Amino acid sequence: MTHADVRFPFSAVVGQDRLKLALILSAVSPGIGGVLIRGEKGTAKSTIVRGLAPLLGDGGRVVDLPIGATEDRVIGSLDLTRVLRDGQAHFTPGLLAQADGGVLYIDEVNLLSDHLVDVLLDAAASGRVTIERDGVSHTQAADFVLVGTMNPEEGELRPQLLDRFGLVVDVAGARDVEERVEIVTSRLAFDADPESFAARYEGAEAELAARIGAARERVTAVGLPPRELRRIAGVCAHLDVDGLRGDIVVARTAAAHAAWRGADEIDADDVRVAVELALPHRRRRNPFDESGLSDDQLDDALDAGDQAAGPDPDDGGTQEPDAGDTGPDGPDTDPDGPDTDPDGPETDPPGGGAPSGPAFGSGPSIGGRVRAFRTEGVGDGDAGRRSKARSSRGITTRAVDFGPRTGVHLFGTVLAAAQRSNGSGLPALTPADLRGAERIGTESNLVVFVVDLSGSMTARSRLAAVRNACVDLLRDSYTRRDRVAVVVACGKDAYVAVPPTRSVEIAVARLAQVRTGGRTPLAEGLHRGLEVIERAARVDPTRRPLLVVMTDGRATAGPDASRRADAAADEIARRGISAVVVDCEQGVVRLGLAVELARRLGAEYTTMEALTSTGLTDHVRGVA
């Protein structure tokens, strides 16, 4: 065994007790649905997951699924060489089948392409993976524990995949000095001599594996008293958890925790642990809701669970009310009313000091479903839901040269063999006859918003309209798996308020701190947007940009402001960058400057009135 084959022992990990418990419970009861680990880099997420493999017993293994894996590598593929040589369909198992009975581990799972997410959802729901290739169907077992890690700053998960993770744990680096020293000391000792370090923990690892095995055998016999089932239902109802999957996962997790501690029956402590791990990520209603449960929210939910559970039979069927409790209708209230100001508390604006205008980014959005707008042409970017792109999935358009991303075009392959025969009959197929299938799917893009928040835009109704439209467009970008950036133009210059990110939640949060007012540096805003696009292209050249400009078209900052704005628009048009202009001008008298800007940009044009009166559905049209 080489140094590279030695794993850092699970029992040697310092701290992260909550994460280790979640992984152990998933190993005890795979029906829980796996674990999603969210947190900053350098918190031993991958080390802990990989250390779990030796504890899973015979057959247990951790299979890595790279985020850049092809679909054939994930689900398996037809062995074309054997098909052409022997005339028989033979399948090569993919990563999902290899993980059967073990753990499927995905590092940075939130960056996984959508088409692979679809495959994962199917396998997680059925415990099997079905391969459909060129008229041939094959099914393999794929019953695994799904474990993923992610950094929330890089973007969120699709809600459907998030719901498939039974447990979620948020991790952070240790803040205690002594604990940090112990972590570094252990890591350096392991790196210096992995075999000797692992040998010191063989006894602890064997004991932990035996305890997991014993809990696995015991978990099916753990009892769930009706009182605890009512407690679980009460907690889930109080937290407005959709559906019943949350109730089921909490019950399974509580049973696993009871089995882990050697009990024969679930009690309130088991339910509390299960609620902390299984419900925080099931409370979100849209991409911009905060996830997680605060201590106060958890206590309130558990209090609701206590009420639903009813009196403890060991207390003789009665239950003493807490101090201040008036009975089933809730606590006593102060007869003079709550000690609050009816007009709300006085607070300083974010960042301190006097604001230059109203805050941006708060309040309700328009709420209409956004109609797709796209970049021109066909790209080769990462899978998403916005613009047309060549991909391994989608509609087959024609036969092309065979390659690793094309799949097989059967008709094209047979036609090539027929043409080689020169009309003398169809010869045996050879690898040289293979033709690939060009498929057109959809990709994600870099959407750069240039938002004019100058003095001419800060009337209350106009700012609200701009704010709502921008938030709805950001929400649309989230659902289409885009990266987004926001440039704000106001005062004397423009600045990047939100650098390119996959986390639209972060974008909305940062926009809430933006202030408005001053002149209109439109030229600077367009230049900053172009700079963002150029920098992003150097890092990710296949991701095509889409520029969304929200302005009334006025340019008033600095000398020759209008001329410089025209020059900036002409430069963007010469680069062939797809754009949309949202005209924010209001009132009876219109200057029509945003129309001229759209013409110079070669952009799609729409008005704020259209957006605010009927929503975005019918008025943000595709430019493809």
Residue with tokens 């250390």: 51
Distance from the Cα of residue 318 to its chain's centroid:
47
Cα separation, 487 vs 419, in Å, equals 56
Count CB neighbours of 522 within 10 A: 30
Angle between helices 226-238 and 295-309 (to 10 degrees): 140
In 159-235, which ranges are E strands? 167-171
Cα separation, 225 vs 292, in Å, equals 28
The dihedral built from the CA positions of residue 578, 582, 585 and 589, taken in this order, carries a sign that is positive
Active-site residue, from 50, 245, 393, 621: 245
Question: Which run of H or E residues covers position 450?
Answer: strand 446-452
Pairing mode, if any, of strands 167-171 and 35-39? Answer: parallel
Cα separation, 36 vs 169, in Å, equals 6
Maximum Cα–Cα distance for the chain, whole Å?
101
Cα separation, 315 vs 165, in Å, equals 38
The residues facing 440 across adjacent strands are 390, 395
Cα separation, 526 vs 577, in Å, equals 12
Active site residue 528: no
Distance from the Cα of residue 437 to its chain's centroid:
30
Distance from the Cα of residue 110 to its chain's centroid:
4
- Asked if residue 611 lies in contact with residue 582, where contact means CB atoms within 8 angstroms, the answer is yes
The residues facing 63 across adjacent strands are 104
What are 218's two structure tokens? 């015991």
- Asked if residue 251 lies in contact with residue 236, where contact means CB atoms within 8 angstroms, the answer is no
Cα separation, 160 vs 165, in Å, equals 9
Cα separation, 454 vs 492, in Å, equals 10
**364 three-state secondary structure:** coil
Alpha-carbon radius of gyration of the chain? 29
The dihedral built from the CA positions of residue 330, 333, 335 and 339, taken in this order, carries a sign that is negative
- DSSP collapsed to 3 states, 269-335: HHHHHHHHHHCHHHCCCCCCCCCCCCHHHHHHHHHHHHHHHCCCHHHCCCCCCCCCECCCCCECCCC
Residue 601: closest CA among 621, 624, 622, 571: 571
Residue 507: closest CA among 578, 448, 568: 448
- Asked if residue 79 lies in contact with residue 118, where contact means CB atoms within 8 angstroms, the answer is no
Q: Give every strand in the sheet of 435-443, ordered side by side.
A: 383-391, 435-443, 395-401
Residue 601: closest CA among 563, 549, 524: 549
Cα separation, 37 vs 463, in Å, equals 39
Catalytic sites, residue numbers? 245
